[in-house]
Amino acid sequence: MNVSLRFAMSLVLAGLLIFALLMSNSLLLRSQQDALSRLNERIINETSRSAQRSLSEFLAIPERGNALMKVVIESAEIPLSPDLAALERPMFDILTQTLTEHAALNSMAFANEKGEFIGLVRKPDQRDFFLVLKDRRTQHTFQAYPGTVVSTPSLIIEFYDPRTRPWYQLALERGKPVWSEIYNNAFNSTESLMSYATPLMNAKRQVTGVLVSNLQIHRFNQFLLQLPDLRNGAIFIVDEKNRLIAHSSNESVLQVQSSSVTKQVSRKLPSQSDLAVVRAAGRYLDQNLQRFDFLLDGEKIYGRILPLENQNGLNWRIVVLLPENDLIGTLKQEQRSVIILIFLGALGVMLLGWYFSGYISWPILQVAQAAENFGNAPMQNGWQPQDHRGWQLRETAQLTRSFNRMAQQLIQSFRLISNQMRLDEVTGLLSRDGLRTALENWHYSAEHKQLMLQIGLDGFRAINDSVGHTVGNMLLSSIAHRLQHSLPPDVLLARTAGTEFTMLFPKVDPTEMGDLVQFYRDSFVTAFSVASADEIVVPASVGALYGHFELTQFDDWLRNASIALGQAKARGHGSSAVFESEMLEQSIARTRLTNELKLALEREEFRVFFQPVIDLATGETIGAEALVRWQSPNGMVSPALFIPAAEESGLILPLGQWVLRDACRQIAEKIAQGWRTDFGLHVNVSVRQLIQSDFYEQVRMVLAETALPANGLTLEITESCLITQSEVIVSLVRRLRALGVSVAIDDFGTGYSSLAYLHQFDFDCLKIDQSFVARMLDNPQDQAIVSAIIDMAAGFDATLVAEGIETAAQADHLRAIGCQHAQGYFFGRPAPLEAWPQQPVRPDIQ
Ligand code: C2E
Ligand code: CA
Ligand code: CA
C-alpha cells in the first residue's frame, strides 16, 4: 500500500484527536449516566409522588365538602325534616364558592332517614347547577328543576328512595364517612359515579341522614391528563380488583355490553385500555412490585406503583409509566451532537493537518520528483529548485539545498565525463564515442555513396619512444590540425584509436574516391614540425571503405575500414587499400588462427627445432638457428603460416620470449654436456619484440637464467625493421652488443632500401637470403649481388651466413668466393636436438 506522508500525518492527527475526545467523552458519559439514572429515579419518583399527592387532594374534595356541610348543619342546628329548604343555601355556597375550582365534584346531596332528599347537580356546561328535591314541598316526589330554586320541575320521578342507593346503605352500615364503590348513575347508566358518604347522627348515635358528594369517574381521566410532566408517559389507577378507575386517556374506562334487553356496564381492566403502554404495564400489577421496567417498541419504559389509600376505605394503586426518552431523551440527543461535533472537529483537524503537512511533504515530493527527472535525463532537466511558499521547515529547506548542491555537482561531473567521452583530450577531435553521437545528427545523402577513410600512423610507437610522450602528443595534435584544415564541410573527423584517424565523407562520387585516398596519403609526405624537436616524417597508411552508409552499421564500417587499413599496412608503409569483402574473410580466418595459437601456447604445443650453421672452410658445425614449430593436433604447422598472424595479434611476444628461453636453455645444456663454449645460437626476433621497452631486460634475464654465454647468442633481425624502427633499434642494438650479444641482419638483400640504413647499425652478421643462393649458379646478376654482399660484409667487419644451401655445388661456389658460414638442407634440416648426430660439434681445443 502506498499512502502519502501528508495523508498519514493528517490521519494520525485526526485519529489521535478522535481517540482523545471519545475517551474523555465516554468517561464523561459514564459519570453522566450515573447522574442520569439517579436523576431518572428522582424524576419518576417525583412524578409518581406528585400524582399521588394530586390524587389524594382530588379525593379530598368530596371529603372536605361533606365535612363543611356537616359542620354547617350541626353548628346551625338546621332542621333536617320535613322540609330541607334550609340546606339549599349552604350547599350551594359550598359548591360555588368554597370548592369552585373542583369541577370534578359533580354533585352534593343529603337524604334523611325518612327518605327526604335534596341535591345540587352540576349541569353538563359545568358552570351552573340544578336543584333536585324530594320533601314536603314536592309531596315526596322526586323533582328536578332547571335552576337552583324551586320552580316548574323539569323532571319528576314518582318512586325514588334515596335510602336504597349504595352510598346511603354503606354509610348507614358503617356509621362513619366512607367511600363507595364505583357505581352507575341512577339517572344515566353510562355514567359512573363514586360517592363519599358521611352519616349524620343524633345524640343516641342513630343515623339521622347521610351527606353525599359525588365524583364523576370519567373526570379522573381528565385529571390524570392534566398532571404535569407526563409527556409521553401514562398514569393509571386501579382499584383493589385491578379494574381501571382512570387512565390518562380520553377513552372511557367503562365498557358497555348491551344485549336486546339489558345493558351491562363494567370497568375495563388495564389490558383493555386503549393505551398500549397501560396494556403492557398491566401484567406487572399482580406481582406486588413497586417498580419495574419493560421494553415497548424498542423503548424502555420505567414504571412505579404507589398505593392510594385512606382510612375511608379507599384501596387503590397508582401506576406511573415514563419512557426513558422523556427522562434522558435530550441528553442522548446532546450526546449524539457531541459525537458529531467530535467528528467534525477531527475532520477540521485533518484538513488543517493536510494543509500544514503540505509544508513538509511538498518540498520532499519536489526533491523526489527532481531526483527522478534527474535520474532519467540528468543533462536535460537539471534541477530547478523553486521557492514553494513564504516559509519552509528548516529540515526540508536543508534537504532542498543539499539536493540542489549535489545535483549541480553531478551535472558538472556529467558534463566533464561526457565531454571526455565525446572528445579526445590530446587532439580535441571527436573520440570514437563522440563520432557515434555526432553521427546521429549527421546529414548525408542516401542517394550517394559515403566514404570512410581510416588513416593509421606507421611506426608511431617508435617515434613516441624516441621523442618522448609530450612531443608525441604534440605531434598527434599537429597531425589532427593538418587533417582538420584540409576537410570539406560536413566531413566528420575523429581520432578512433591511438594512432588512427577516421574520416567520414557524406557524399562521394566513385571517380573522387581514388583522389581522396591519394590526397590524404600524400598529406603525410611533408614532415611535421613540433616545438623544439626536429621535423618529423610520420608515414601513414590509408584504409578506405566506400558504400551506402547506415547509422546502424557504424560499427561494421569501423571494423571494415580497419581491416582495409590493416591490409594497407601489410603492403608496407605509406600504402593504401580499399576494403573488399575477401579481406573480411581473411581477417576472420586470421582471428580464428589467432585463437588457435593462443590455445596452442597454453597447451605448450610449440617446439624449437635447430638447423646447424656450418663453417664452410672446415665443414664443422659451429652453431645453429632456432626455428619454432607448432605441433598442432592436425600436424606440424610451418612458421611461415603462423608467424605473421602471431605478429599481428601480439602473440609473438610471449611466443618469441618462450623460444628465446627454450633455445638458450637447450643449447646451454649441450654446452654443459661438452659442446664448444663458443657455439653460436641464432634466434629470430620479431620487430614487435624489439620495440618492447623491456626487451633488453628479457634477454639479460634469459642469459642469466640459462647460463648461456652472451657471446654465444645472435639475435636475427629482419632487414625490413631497419627502415622504420631505426632510432629505437639502433640504441637497443648498441646495448645488446655491449652485453656481448651479437646481432644478425636476416634475409639480407630482399629489402630494396636497406643499404641506405645499414651504416646506422653496428651489426655482427649478415645472412644472405636463400633466394639469391638458389638462383646464384644460374643467374650472373645474383652471383654479382652475392659477391657484393660478401665484400660489403668484410667491409663492415661482419661474418656472413649464406642461407638455403641445398647442393654441394652451391656450397663449393660460396666457399670459393669467400663466404664463411652456411646453412641449408645440404648440411642439415631443422630438427630437435635429440635428432642431431651424437657428436656433431667439436669440443673446445684448449
Ligand atoms: P628464416 O629466418 O629465414 O629461417 C630460415 C628458413 O629457411 C627456415 O624456414 C628454414 O627451415 C628454411 N631453410 C633452411 N635451409 C633451407 C634450404 O636448404 N632450402 C630451403 N628451401 N629452406 C631452407 P622455417 O623454419 O619454415 O621458418 C620460416 C621463417 O619463420 C623464418 O625464416 C623466420 O623468419 C620465421 N621464424 C621461424 N622461427 C621463428 C622464431 O622463433 N621467431 C621469429 N620471429 N621468426 C621465426
Ligand atoms: Ca632466420
Ligand atoms: Ca632468413
The SS3 assignment for 5 reads: helix
Mean pLDDT score, 33-50: 78
Q: Which amino acid, residue 710?
A: A
Ligand 2 center from residue 747 Cα (angstroms): 7
Q: Would the CB of 649 count as within 6 Å of ligand 1?
A: no
Adjacent-strand bridge partners of 714: 682, 742
Distance 780 CA to ligand 2 centre (A): 25
Element (H, E) at 556: helix 554-570
> ∠ at Cα 75 (72, 79), nearest 5°?
80
Q: Report, as an integer, the average pLDDT of 689-699.
A: 92
- Which is higher by pLDDT, 93 or 454? 454
Distance 805 CA to ligand 1 centre (A): 13
Give the pairing type, strands 606-615 and 528-529: unpaired
Rounded to an integer, the average pLDDT of 669-680 is 91
How do residues 173-202 score in pLDDT, each as one tens digit? Answer: 888 888 887 877 777 666 778 889 999 888
* Per-residue pLDDT, 217: 78
Closest atom of ligand 1 to CA, residue 627? 38
**CB of 824 sitting under 6 A from ligand 1:** yes
Quick: pLDDT tens for 798-808: 999 999 999 99
Cell numbers given for 785: 649481388
Specify the residue with its C-alpha closest to ligand 1, atom 40.
684
Calculate how far, in angstroms, residue 831's C-alpha sits from the geometric centre of ligand 2: 15
In a 13 Å sphere around the CA of 313, the CA atoms on its Cβ side amount to 18
Query: Looking at the predicted structure, is the pLDDT value of residue 211 above 70?
Result: yes
Q: Which residue out of 610, 630, 803, 810 has the highest number of ligand 1 atoms within 8 Å of its CB and is therefore the one to mutate?
A: 803
Q: What is the pTM assigned to this prediction?
A: 0.48
- In this prediction, what percent of the chain has a pLDDT beyond 70? 92
pLDDT at 84: 84
Minimum CA distance residue for ligand 1 atom 29: 640
Question: Is residue 370 a contact partner of residue 357, using CB atoms and an 8 Å limit?
Answer: no
Q: Which residue has the higher pLDDT, 386 or 139?
A: 139
Banded pLDDT at 845 (limits 50, 70, 90): very low
Nearest C-alpha neighbor of 62 from the set 215, 203, 291: 215
Least confident of 170-174, 403-407, 433-437: 403-407
pLDDT in tens, 634-666: 899 899 989 988 988 899 999 999 999 999 999
Other CB atoms within 10 Å distance of the CB of residue 374: 21
pLDDT of 386: 52
Instruction: Indicate if ligand 1 lies below 6 Å from the C-beta of 353.
Output: no
Q: Quick: pLDDT tens for 468-510.
A: 888 899 999 999 999 999 888 889 999 999 999 999 999 999 9
Contact 798, 817 (CB under 8 A): no
CA of 684 to the centre of ligand 3 (A): 9
pLDDT at 722 over 90: no
What residue's CA is closest to ligand 1, atom 12? 804
Distances (CA, A) of 508 to 297, 446, 455, 494, 568: 104, 11, 18, 19, 21
**Closest CA to ligand 1's atom 46:** 684
Q: Residue 578 above 80 pLDDT? A: yes
Distance from the alpha carbon of residue 158 to the mean position of ligand 2, in angstroms:
180
Quote the ligand 2 centre to 716 CA distance (angstroms): 6
pLDDT score of 846: 39
Tell me the best of 613, 627, 664, 825 to mutate to test the pocket of ligand 1, counting ligand atoms within 8 Å of each CB and taking the most: 627
From the alpha carbon of 805, which atom of ligand 1 is closest? 18
pLDDT tens-digit series, residues 318-347: 888 888 777 666 666 777 788 888 888 888
Query: Is 747's C-beta closer than 6 angstroms to any atom of ligand 1?
Result: yes
